[in-house]
């Protein structure tokens, strides 16, 4: 096998060394256009997981790196003059030049040909003369660009500028320092990469980052490398203490996230930054590149031929990279929005920073440094022995015993066309109230027959329905004392007259369809769903009164809280989105006009809903589609409802248009709630793939949410909240087991797996 490696960075060099080591008969050539010691940046951080892979694959490289590493456990966070330290994290770093030198030596030892100061021929030409071409040519990959029609790359440029610098002394921890200036907020990320020894003070990487507009306002865009280093050194006195910074061809740049639909083309494969990038704030591009090299070499060794090996390599690495990129995006967006967090108390701010990517959580941070987490909980007023999720929360006259909400979930289980909840709803909602949640929400309860999604949706337009809902609330209040039950009122709008979910979600009924209404005559799906009638001013008045009358019935039915459904593309949501509201009258146009009818409905409902009972509103904070709700729109919507008396905003996303492209992932919708809460100071309910009690504790303690709503986990386990309490060793008033169930409050024993193994075989 003849192998050409384009790019002499760590990923390309390590791939070359591994491929040659695994089969010395291979001819492996590395093309690097720069000199051997030319490199950008200073230090490289590698995780224990990556080092373990290196140790297993090439002990010689691992041993050489071990001699160079600087290791430390602490993270220091400097916030408004206070330095907080969290320990137990475990880092290892070394200078980038030293890493390259180790890999150069290993490649030469194994017989890899290193061609420095040599521009690689085009990958297409290399592919004709080689069996494998590894394109490790970085974020500006010429190989990727030359075959963009196959790799189909996408690049996202982010909102901060940053510069890589170095300090000639060794820090003793990973260091974050926040500088608040008249121009805005800047942050420092710094870590040691060369240990102090024998009169050598060591060295540290220092990255300074800030929003683009702050960078320009501060005049940093006008400075050369040397002056940028001088100005940055003045900004962070706690970390630098007046000591200078230096550059290495350092420039202020904006981070770019690179992704590719495919990673291989014929016998050419992308590796490292050529294939993908992840923001430096959660780790190292070098880490991903080295792990790519390990996987590529292993797959080539394991698979019967090259096409199978390249397919296996991509199948193995792509999920890992996507997960890393999701975490990196959460981290970089947190730093982009840093100004919204700096007013938090110092310990909460530090906890928020440490858990920003959602990979570090309350529970595993407590394992690393229990004292630090306890100090954060003390500052937040969380009693000792009480997980944050089991602290109370007050909404107007209602005090919720804990922060867990059973999310509103459509059940489509009312008898056809009656809209009346039956035994299913009694058992469904009653079971979840018995299961310990602080608040249990109904499904979207429709305000009129025409406002149903399906024929089997429940409503609140008749006395029969009112009496049936009273049966449910009476059960909850009597049998699950301390649990609150809320009703969500809504109108389907253009998404109505469809089959129940399991018979064809959003599919029109085969017969018996009713006419639909909407702000504009825009069908949900062209040619599939019917064209809705555009509502007139008089018809809007009628719908507003339907909501008010349903609220009166909800009051008499005994609900503790009322939520107005203005999300997911239903009627009120479709007024808010510019993709579905194309009106030219007073109810269409800018966001203030699009808010007009939903606010009129909110005011009408708030007027008749008891003053001491809370009212919330559910919104879609993004449409996940071009031309939809903007981040500024989402803030305007939340602020407007809060100004009109909403006690909390239930922040969801999407489901407004069928061609949406959600960015799914762990807790993927919570950043939208976070932004509203920390920008406006409005209480929020966070939703969206919050699946563990650890997620709930993390979001609450970091100040990203006030309540957490979970849907599918409560379908899997109606007693999710009680089990969360048991698993955390909590047995307090926020999660009381119903007396008939107390015998089940401990996990049942299972078969033993620790019995001694037989000593003899007879």
Q: Are 452 and 499 in contact (CB under 8 A)?
A: no
Q: Please say whether the dihedral angle defined by the alpha carbons of residues 44, 330, 176 and 363, taken in this order, is positive or negative.
A: negative
Burial class (CB within 10 angstroms; exposed 0-12, middle 13-18, buried 19+) of 139: middle
> What are the phi and psi torsion angles at 135 (to 5°)?
-90, 95
d(CA 481, CA 263): 57
Q: In 230-359, which ranges are E strands?
A: 253-260, 264-265, 268-270
**Token pair in block for residue 311:** 């397919």
d(CA 629, CA 573): 11
d(CA 243, CA 646): 51
d(CA 576, CA 421): 30
d(CA 354, CA 361): 8
d(CA 313, CA 403): 43
- Contacts with 698 (C-beta within 8 Å, 6 or more apart), sequence order: 355, 358, 361, 362, 363
> Which of these, 204, 206, 215, 205, lies nearest to 158 by C-alpha position?
215
Q: Which of 14, 570, 587, 672 is catalytic?
A: 570
d(CA 538, CA 398): 36
d(CA 613, CA 560): 6
d(CA 117, CA 34): 5
**Look-up: residue for tokens 């709803």?**
425
* HSE toward the beta carbon, residue 546, CA cutoff 13 A: 22
**Token pair in block for residue 530:** 């019917």
> What are the phi and psi torsion angles at 571 (to 5°)?
-55, -55
**Token pair in block for residue 573:** 């949501």
* HSE toward the beta carbon, residue 232, CA cutoff 13 A: 34
Q: In 80-146, which ranges are E strands?
A: 82-86, 91-95, 113-116, 132-135
* Phi-psi map region of 498: left, alpha, beta (phi>0 left; psi -120 to 50 alpha): beta
**Token pair in block for residue 714:** 């409560």
> What are the phi and psi torsion angles at 546 (to 5°)?
-60, -40
> What are the phi and psi torsion angles at 390 (to 5°)?
-105, 30
d(CA 397, CA 561): 10
> Which of these, 83, 115, 85, 97, lies nearest to 40 by C-alpha position?
97
Told to judge if 162 belongs to the known catalytic residues of this protein, a careful annotator would answer no
d(CA 459, CA 449): 8
d(CA 45, CA 61): 16
d(CA 545, CA 543): 5
**Look-up: residue for tokens 């941070």?**
365
> Which amino acids are annotated catalytic?
570
């Amino acid at each position: 096998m003849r192998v050409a490696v384009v790019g002499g960075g760590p990923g390309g060099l390590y791939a070359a060394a591994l491929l040659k080591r695994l089969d010395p008969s291979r001819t492996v050539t590395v093309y690097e256009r720069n000199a051997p010691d030319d490199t950008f940046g200073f230090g490289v951080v590698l995780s224990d997981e990556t080092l373990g892979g290196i140790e297993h694959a090439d002990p010689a490289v691992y041993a050489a790196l071990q001699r160079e590493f600087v290791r430390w456990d602490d993270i220091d966070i400097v916030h408004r003059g206070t330095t907080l330290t969290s320990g137990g994290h475990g880092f290892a770093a070394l200078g980038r030049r030293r890493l390259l030198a180790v890999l150069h030596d290993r490649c030469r030892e194994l017989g890899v040909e290193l061609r420095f100061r040599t521009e690689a021929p085009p990958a297409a030409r290399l592919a004709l003369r080689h069996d494998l071409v590894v394109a490790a040519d970085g974020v500006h990959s010429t190989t990727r660009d030359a075959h963009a029609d196959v790799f189909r790359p996408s690049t996202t440029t982010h909102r901060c500028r940053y510069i890589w610098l170095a300090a000639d002394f060794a820090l003793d921890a990973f260091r974050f320092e926040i500088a608040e200036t008249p121009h805005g907020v800047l942050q420092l990320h710094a870590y040691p990469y060369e240990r102090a020894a024998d009169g050598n003070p060591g060295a540290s990487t220092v990255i300074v980052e800030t929003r683009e507009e702050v960078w320009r306002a501060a005049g940093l865009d006008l400075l050369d490398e040397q002056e940028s280093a001088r100005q940055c050194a003045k900004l962070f006195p706690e970390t630098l203490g007046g000591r200078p910074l230096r550059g290495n061809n350092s420039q202020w740049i904006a981070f770019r996230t690179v992704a590719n639909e495919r990673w291989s083309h014929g016998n050419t494969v992308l590796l490292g930054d050529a294939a993908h990038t992840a923001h430096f704030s959660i780790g190292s591009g070098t880490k991903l590149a080295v792990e790519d090299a390990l996987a590529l070499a292993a797959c080539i060794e394991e698979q019967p031929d090259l096409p199978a090996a390249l397919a296996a390599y991509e199948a193995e690495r792509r999920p890992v990279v996507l997960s890393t990129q999701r975490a990196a995006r959460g981290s970089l967006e947190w730093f982009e929005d840093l100004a919204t967090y700096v007013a938090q108390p110092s310990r909460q701010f530090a906890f928020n920073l440490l858990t920003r990517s959602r990979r570090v959580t309350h529970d595993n941070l407590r394992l690393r440094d229990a004292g630090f987490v306890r100090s954060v909980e003390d500052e937040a007023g969380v009693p000792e022995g009480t997980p944050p999720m089991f602290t109370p929360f007050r909404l107007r006259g209602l005090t919720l015993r804990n922060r867990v909400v059973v999310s509103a979930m459509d059940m489509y289980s009312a008898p056809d066309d009656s809209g009346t909840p039956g035994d299913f709803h009694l058992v469904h909602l009653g079971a979840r109230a018995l299961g310990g949640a602080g608040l249990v929400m109904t499904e979207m309860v429709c305000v009129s027959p025409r406002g149903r999604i399906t024929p089997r949706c429940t409503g609140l337009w008749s006395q029969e329905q009112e009496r049936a809902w009273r049966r449910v609330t009476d059960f909850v209040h009597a049998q699950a004392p301390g649990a609150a039950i809320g009703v969500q009122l809504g109108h389907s709008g253009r998404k109505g007259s469809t089959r129940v979910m399991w018979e064809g979600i959003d599919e029109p009924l085969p017969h018996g369809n009713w006419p639909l209404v909407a702000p504009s005559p825009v069908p949900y799906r062209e040619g599939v769903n019917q064209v809705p009638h555009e509502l007139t001013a008089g018809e809007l008045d009628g719908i507003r009164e339907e909501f008010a009358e349903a609220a009166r019935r909800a009051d008499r039915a005994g609900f503790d809280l009322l939520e107005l459904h203005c999300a997911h593309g239903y009627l009120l949501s479709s007024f808010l989105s510019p993709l579905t509201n194309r009106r030219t009258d007073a109810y269409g146009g800018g966001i203030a006009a699009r808010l007009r009818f939903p606010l009129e409905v909110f005011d009408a409902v708030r007027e008749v809903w008891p003053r001491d009972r809370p009212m919330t509103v559910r919104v879609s904070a993004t449409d996940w589609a071009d031309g939809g709700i903007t981040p500024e729109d989402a803030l305007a919507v939340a602020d407007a409802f809060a100004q009109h008396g909403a006690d909390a905003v239930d922040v969801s996303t999407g489901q407004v248009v069928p061609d949406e492209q959600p960015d799914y992932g762990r807790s993927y919708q919570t950043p939208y709630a976070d932004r509203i809460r920390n920008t406006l100071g409005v209480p929020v309910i966070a939703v969206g793939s919050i699946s563990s009690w650890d997620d709930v504790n993390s979001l609450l303690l970091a100040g990203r949410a006030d309540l957490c709503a979970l849907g599918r986990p409560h379908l899997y386990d109606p007693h999710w909240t009680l089990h969360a309490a048991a698993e955390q060793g909590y047995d307090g008033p926020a999660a009381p087991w119903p007396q008939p169930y107390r015998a089940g409050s401990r996990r049942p024993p299972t078969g033993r797996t620790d019995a001694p193994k037989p000593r003899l075989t007879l």
